[in-house]
Amino acid sequence: MSAAPTPAWLDALRRDARARADATGLPTRRDEAWKYTDFALSGAAAYPLAARWQDAVPASLATRPVAGGVPLVLVNGTVVGDWGAPDGVTIGRLDSPDARSLVEAHLGAVIPAARKSLAALNGGLFTDGLVLRITAGTRLERPIEVLSLGASDAASGPLSFHPRLLVVVEEGGFATLVESHRGTGAYFSNSVVEVALAEGAGLDHYKIQDESLEGVHVATLGVSVAARAVYRGALLQAGSRLARHEVHASLCGRDAVFELDGAYLGVENQHLDNTTFVTHAAPGGQSRQLFKGVLDNQAQGVFQGTVLVERAAQKTNAHQLSKALLLSAGAGMSGKPELEIYADDVKCGHGCTVGDIDETALFYLRSRGIAEADARQLLIEAFLADVLEHVSLDPVRETFTAVVSERLRRARLGKEDR
Amino acid sequence: MSSGIEQVRSLADQAYKYGFTTEIEAEAAPKGLNEDIIRFISAKKGEPEWLLEWRLKAYRLWLTQEEPVWPRLHHAPIDYQDSYYYSAPKRKDGPKSLDEVDPKLLETYEKLGVPLQERARLAGVAVDAVFDSVSVATTYREKLKEHGIIFTSMSEAVREHPELVRKYLGSVVPYSDNYFATLNTAVFTDGSFVYVPPGVRCPMELSTYFRINAEKTGQFERTLIIADKGAYVSYLEGCTAPMRDENQLHAAVVELVALDDAEIKYSTVQNWYPGDAEGKGGIYNFVTKRGACRGRASRISWTQVETGSAITWKYPSCILQGDDSVGEFYSVAITSNYQQADTGTKMIHIGRNTRSRIISKGISAGHADNTYRGLVRVQPKADGARNFTQCDSLLIGDLCGAHTTPYIESRNPTARVEHEASTSKISEDQLFYVRQRGLSEEEAVSLIVNGFCREVLQQLPMEFAVEAQKLVAISLEGSVG
Amino acid sequence: MTTMSGPNEGTGSRDGAGAPLLAIRDLHATVAGREILKGIDIVVPAGEVHVVMGPNGAGKSTLSYVLAGRDGYEPTQGEVVYQGQDLLAMKTEERARAGIFLAFQSPVEIPGVTGVNFLKTAVNAQRRARGESELDAMQFLKLARRKAKELDVGEEMLRRSVNSGFSGGEKKRYEALQMTLLEPRLMILDETDSGLDFDALKTVAQAVNGMRSPDRSILMITHHQRLLDLIAPDCIHVLIDGRIVSTGDRSLAHELEKSGYAQFAGQAA
């Protein structure tokens, strides 16, 4: 695999990452953090690196912006097309000379190198990428939208690519980021998004993972939250045959806030993994995570969430809840919610449940004349409702809901086939 | 008022009441571990060939194994050659009755609060006393025999009931199970054996009291309890050791087998020497405990109060094989000073409508680290399986750690698994409220912590519940202020 | 440690009648670095009922916490003499053992600790401090049942965890029960009337009145009148912004009821 030519300063960063990736090797199930997800088995590591995309956006993947406006588009990891930036925002390619100081300060700094992830592989192999900078005090009303598309066909064979995004929100700035992933064919998208929030900054971050069902999607999200900064994330995982969304969040300033809501829907043979590491490193931090999963057919779900409260992080309030519904005999769920706590004046808790649709509720609805399939659908949507409620941006919530309905329909088809 | 705190501190140093040593002539195998030592142990016990072969097979496997690195535990490497694997009080023949037991040993157990006279304080509790590598006395055997119950040392069981031993030994914890269980299989010296025949409800509490006495000696006991169809038995183990600067190894294996409609309640009050306030000395406690609910509607319940040991590594587990079987795990683990505990349970749901319940209370003080680690696995055929888990941690002071690492794996859509965990400290409000009613800070903490543990402590047999409550208080002395 | 006399001790050998049980002089106190009490003077002779009234945020609860010795409520100036002793030098539990009882405004839940166990431990801790023999389980249970019945506290409440899942009224009755069991010398009632229906209020007032004696004093903290109709006060103190702005007899309470605290606003500034 070879990477595109880039400036020497960026190459230095890339070489470091590459060396790290080579040193640690690809994760296997022997690595505790990958216990439930067999990346090697997916074969994705062997997909050749996609060439830099030279064409326009493929018509088959016509850009449907979620939130309106013109999205920033990456095809197979290459930034395509032009963009305009609103006042107070700088948007640039990773390799542009203007981006250098930001990239050198933040790229790879948000995700701890100590933990084995695929971020280092991305660092060594990304061909292109974007830097967004929201300047101090700028409060954006309109969302910024980033769309990552994967494209492969019989002629190209399966491909791999490594989308990269760096978001820096300076002091007191605020932005909304809508990130979506779609595509056709077989490919391996190994995305890395890094978010650095300065003091008092805020980011609302929505992610829709609706990749091709032949695809493999691994995303590593790093978030550093400085004093009084607020990160709110909402995630929908629905695509890919194998997907993993791995979050490394560090609440490194006093009274920082981190919130993450996730919904995932697995059908057919999908394997969907949500893994989070939230580190409270400073006093007064608050973190809340809620993950809801629905697994039908033969789909397998994974939730691993570690909350680490360091000695200095007194008065931390951390909560985490994972709930999964298993809808079919072949479906499975593995969970590992973990608390690692070294400060005494804290309130931390987690909950984890796995079960079926509540039979009493189902009976109640049917007794009111609702067909079983419809009743189930209603209850599943109700199960996911509290995640969707946290999606405050209307068009994003509508997209979440639409993807959910489509998947549930597909799951029902999957059952009728058998 | 600082004198109060100092007073408490000095109390804490004396808190370990069982740190004395018994001067008794012992017979020991040479230091170190090799096949000759294993043959020595086996010969000493007059074991049949198959048992020696089993030990050697385990030993050879052990040589290729590595100590697990996943627990949240830190210790200097253990030199397995720098330890004695067999030490027994010297005697001519095995004592035929209690009257023949060395008075020094009787006195030792008396001091430990476990009198071996049958009409003593713990009347109604049958005791097997294990001293270093051997069982020195077992009480109430005759009375139990009337019910057909076998309660004896493992060594004797091998001689007297070879068919039962051969059938069940290693059937729950195979020789290859894990590093410490494999080591135990190679070198185990004694332990208790219980068999309760079909339909018999054991009329008294059975109990084994483990005492490590000799220096540089590891204790590797093996306990096997079988409750045949419809049988019931409640069993309790207690453990103490002298205060020594060195770390002594205790690597036991406990296997429980419950057949149809049988029930085993297994309680532990673990109070091995925890080391001093600087973290020097103390027992390394690496124990494998597992119960198989083999029969329909069988039930195994583990209750543990873990206050001792420098290091505790144990996960009393239930294999819920029989339909409608039930597994329970109730645990209080208290770590203070430099103690480390990585403990929890595994509930493996295999049969239909199997149920499990896990209640874990971890208390961490001083510089200690306390981890709950548990696995709940629901296999595809376990229709209607249910699990409920509640893990609560309490931190006392800001230099300790409390951790929760549960693994939850469900492969059956009709199963329901629920896990909840919380971490908090004793609130200022609670402390103030209780002190305003006249309790000192120490008393207040002890009262609140005992309340925090109540759900677990009330699972203990009545004879031991009060002792356990006191132990909880003592274990935390010096942690406040 | 300072020697202390128990509440039951010395009943006959008090200083002359009307000698103060509690004397607060120029008491200043801070909470989290902020001065809340800015010079309190209250003298409570033995046998009297004194009321501290004041609007929200005046420092009423702070006063009760400072008297009971709560961490974080730091006296910075002045003195409090209780039965001739320097109260502020005593630990929380020493004050309790010396007969100071605080009925909490919102008693905290203590999960897993049963009422019987808690009450017995408290009663025996105080008996021990007074050099009296401890009550055994049976003696205590008999006593607790009798007192509970008098206060309409259900027996099942004694088996439940302390304050856990209790309603507002149950919590207050439970405080009253503790008070009658511990037989204190100085009872501080912190907003005992808040959130109580009339029946519960009557029961609590009965308990308090039943304990009135020439040796016992009561310091009632409230911003309502209705408790005063049930427990007749000897003296009213008006607390505004950390200072006692007026002290008088029962009529002061009536005046407050008519015209509110605004009339004192100028004095507090």
Q: Are B293 and B302 in contact (CB under 8 A)?
A: no
In a domain, A353, yes or no: yes
Report yes or no: A221 at the B interface, CB cutoff 8 Å. Answer: no
Q: Tell me how far the alpha carbon of residue A161 is from its chain's centroid.
A: 16
A81-101 pLDDT, tens digit per residue, is 888 888 899 999 998 888 889
pLDDT at C12: 36
Tokens 């039965």 appear where?
A: C83
A250-288 pLDDT, tens digit per residue, is 999 999 999 999 999 999 999 999 999 999 999 999 999
- Bigger pLDDT: B93 vs A388: A388
**pTM, entire model:** 0.86
Q: Which of B429, B434, B452 sits opposite C111 (nearest CB)?
A: B452
Q: Which of B399, B408, B411 sits opposite A335 (nearest CB)?
A: B408
- Bigger pLDDT: B231 vs B133: B231
B123-137 pLDDT, tens digit per residue, is 567 777 777 767 777
> B393, A341: Cβ pair inside 8 Å?
yes
pLDDT at B5 over 50: no
Q: Are A58 and A151 in contact (CB under 8 A)?
A: yes
Q: Are A163 and A100 in contact (CB under 8 A)?
A: no
The phi and psi torsions of B14 (rounded to 5 degrees) equal: -95, 0
Side-chain half-sphere exposure of B45, counting CA atoms within 13 A: 31
> B447, C121: Cβ pair inside 8 Å?
yes
Report yes or no: B27 at the C interface, CB cutoff 8 Å. Answer: no
The phi and psi torsions of A239 (rounded to 5 degrees) equal: -95, -175
Domain that holds residue A304: 8-358
Q: Which of C108, C117, C122 sits opposite B438 (nearest CB)?
A: C122
Q: Show residues of chain B in contact with A32, CB under 8 Å.
A: 70
User: ipTM of the assembly?
Assistant: 0.87
Residue B154's alpha-carbon distances to B45, B150, B166, B194, B255, in angstroms, are 10, 11, 12, 9, 12
Give the H or E element holding residue C218: strand C217-222
Within A212-270, strands assigned E span 216-225, 230-237, 242-251, 257-266
Question: What homologous superfamily is domain C1-98+234-269 in, according to CATH?
Answer: P-loop containing nucleotide triphosphate hydrolases (3.40.50.300)
The candidate with the shortest Cα–Cα distance to B330, out of B421, B233, B457, B465, is B457
Q: Tell me how far the alpha carbon of residue B37 is from its chain's centroid.
A: 26
B interface with A, Cβ–Cβ below 8 Å: 70, 378, 380, 393, 395-425
Q: Which of C92, C101, C114 sits opposite B435 (nearest CB)?
A: C92
Q: Which of A336, A340, A341 sits opposite B395 (nearest CB)?
A: A341
Closest-CA residue in chain B for A31?
B70
Average pLDDT over residues C112-117: 87
Closest-CA residue in chain B for A327?
B413
pLDDT at C251: 86
Tell me the shortest Cα–Cα distance from B157 to chain C, in angstroms.
42
C106/C163 Cα distance (integer angstroms): 10
Q: In the structure, do chain A and chain B come into contact, i.e. share 3 or more CB pairs under 8 Å?
A: yes
pLDDT-wise least confident of A16-25, B57-66, B347-356: A16-25
Q: In the structure, do chain C and chain A come into contact, i.e. share 3 or more CB pairs under 8 Å?
A: no
B239/B314 Cα distance (integer angstroms): 15
pLDDT at A388 over 50: yes
HEC readout, chain B: CHHHHHHHHHHHHHCCCCCCCCCCCEEECCCCCCHHHHHHHHHHCCCCHHHHHHHHHHHHHHHHCCCCCCCCCCCCCCCCCCCECCEEECCCCCCCCHHHCCHHHHHHHHHCCCCCCCCCCCCCEEEEEEECCEEEEECCHHHHHHCCCEEEEHHHHHHHCHHHHHHHCCCCCCCCCCHHHHHHHHHCCECEEEEECCCCECCCEEEEEEECCCCCECECEEEEEEECCCCEEEEEEEEECCCCCCEEEECCEEEEEECCCCEEEEEEEECCCCCCCCCCCEEEEEEEEEEEECCCCCEEEEEEEECCCCEEEECCEEEECCCCCEEEEEEEEEECCCCEEEEEEEEEECCCCCEEEEEEEEEEECCCEEEEEEEEEECCCCCCCEEEEEEEEEEECCCCEEEEEEEEEECCCCCEEEEEEEEEECCHHHHHHHHHCCCCHHHHHHHHHHHHHHHHHCCCCHHHHHHHHHHHHHHCCCCCC
Domain count, chain A: 1
The chain-wide mean pLDDT, for chain C, equals: 86
> B401, A355: Cβ pair inside 8 Å?
no
Q: Show residues of chain A in contact with B408, CB under 8 Å.
A: 333-337, 352, 354
Q: Show residues of chain B in contact with A349, CB under 8 Å.
A: 420-423
The chain-wide mean pLDDT, for chain B, equals: 86
Q: pLDDT band at C4, cuts 50/70/90?
A: very low
Q: Are C228 and C250 in contact (CB under 8 A)?
A: yes
Q: Show residues of chain B in contact with A326, CB under 8 Å.
A: 410, 412-413, 415
Q: Using CA of residue B18, residue B24, residue B29, residue B31, what is the dihedral sign?
A: positive
∠ CA C11-C12-C16, nearest 5°, is 100
pLDDT at A56: 80
Per-domain boundaries in chain C: 1-98+234-269
Contact pairs from chain B to chain C, CB under 8 Å: 80
**Beta-carbon contacts of residue B166 (< 8 Å; ≥ 6 apart):** B50
Mutation target vs C (from B3, B422, B430, B437; most C CBs, 10 A cutoff): B437
Q: Show residues of chain B in contact with C112, CB under 8 Å.
A: 450-455
pLDDT at B9: 36
Q: Using CA of residue A365, residue A369, residue A375, residue A381, what is the dihedral sign?
A: negative
B95-116 pLDDT, tens digit per residue, is 556 666 777 777 776 776 666 6
In a domain, A235, yes or no: yes
Q: Select the highest-mean-pLDDT range: B206-210, B349-353, C120-124, C169-173.
A: B349-353
Tell me the shortest Cα–Cα distance from B272 to chain C, in angstroms.
27
DSSP string, C165-189: T--HHHHHHHHHHHHHHH--SEEEE
Helices (H), C130-167: 137-150, 155-159
> A349, B420: Cβ pair inside 8 Å?
yes
Closest-CA residue in chain B for C2?
B1
Q: Show residues of chain B in contact with A351, CB under 8 Å.
A: 418-421
Q: Select the highest-mean-pLDDT range: A403-407, B256-260, B362-366, C165-169.
A: B256-260
Q: pLDDT band at B13, cuts 50/70/90?
A: very low
